Amino acid sequence: MADAAAMARIGSTGKRWGGPWYGQFHERRKFEQGAALYRDLVSRYERRPGRLGYAYHLTIDIWGELRRVEIRFSKDAARVPHVYVDGPTDSPHRFEDGSLCMWHPRDPADRRWTFNDGLVMLIGYITAHLFREAWWRETGEWPGEEATHDKTA
């Protein structure tokens, strides 16, 4: 017989309550709403050491160049995406690990993606960022607003 604390975490369907959103069908379905239009979108649990969490993989076309995208949500920060893309990495808006820097974390919610915006909106931010990177590589100019990358911020 399970102890009372463990039983309190189990719902009537036998599924555990709590945990990251991606482990709960209804939460994940709400987050992914509308994403079926990305036909090659696949998702999976990440169980490798150092990469525990959930990941989405898809391809985005930027000016005829197909870019493979990985969106990772770690177990420790389950609502914060880390986005990695193949292809050219030279950009003024990448973190040291190569992930995209698409907004400043302290920007107000109306100037950045938030978890409640969902997956489709996040993919839109990624697409716009990749377009800006491509434009910057061609012209040396970053189209649109940008935050400075102060290492002390």
For each of the domains in the chain, give its residue range(s) and CATH number, in order of start: 19-139 (3.10.110.10)
Return the exposure string of 23-60: e unless at least 16 CB atoms fall within 10 Å of the residue's CB, then b.
ebeeebeebbeebeebeebebeebeeeeeebbbbebeb
And the tokens for 55? 């990941």
pLDDT of residue 7: 38
Mean pLDDT, 10 residues at a time, the chain of 153 residues: 41 54 94 96 90 94 95 94 95 94 89 96 97 96 80 47
How many Å apart are CA 36 and CA 20, to the nearest integer? 22
